Structure 1
Amino acid sequence: MSRPKNDRAIDLGSPLLNDIADAFLKSATIGVTKAAAEDTYYAVKRGSVSSQDFEYTLKNMCKEGAYYGTVAGVFVTTEYGLESVRGRRDWKNTMIAGAMTGAVMSAVNKNNKDKILVDAMVAGTIAGAALFLRNLATGSLHK
Structure 2
Amino acid sequence: MMNTSSSNLETRPALLQELRSFEKGGFFDFGHPLLNRIAESFLKAAGIGAIQAVSREAYFTATEGLDSSGGGIPPEISGNKKHRFPDLRGENNTKSLEAMVKHTGKESLQWGLAAGVYSGLTYGLTEARGAHDWKNSAVAGAITGVALALTSEGSSHEQIVQGAITGAAISTAANILSGIF
Q: TM-score range by the shorter chain?
A: 0.7 to 0.9
Taking a change above 3 Å as real, the CA distance of residues 84 and 116 of structure 1, as seen in their structure-2 partners, is same
TM-score, normalised to structure 1, is 0.77
CA distance in 2, matches of 1:86, 1:77: 14
Q: Counterpart of 2:53 in structure 1: which amino acid?
A: A
Structure 1 residue corresponding to 2:137, chosen from 94, 98, 110: 94
2:112 — aligned with what?
69
Change (3 A) 1:56 1:107: closer
Unmatched 5+ stretches in structure 1: 138-143
The alpha carbon displacement at 1:37 in A equals 0.9
4+ runs deviating over 3 angstroms: 107-110, 132-137
Q: Select the structure of larger CA radius of gyration.
A: 2
Give the secondary-structure state (helix, strand or coil) at the position aligned to 1:111.
Answer: coil
Per the TM alignment, residue 91 of structure 1 is displaced from its structure 2 partner at its CA by: 1.9
Aligned partner (choices 18, 26, 30) of residue 8 of structure 1: 26
Following the alignment from structure 2 to structure 1, what is the Cα–Cα distance between the partners of residues 64 and 158? Answer: 38
* CA RMSD, 1 decimal: 2.4
Distance 2:133 2:126 in 1: 8
Contact 2:145-2:160 within 8 A present in 1 as well: yes
- Number of equivalent positions: 132
* 1:117 aligned to which of 130, 152, 161: 161
User: Which amino acid is the alignment partner of residue 20 of structure 1?
Assistant: I
Show the counterpart of 1:43: 61
Structure 2 unaligned blocks of 5 or more: 1-22, 66-88
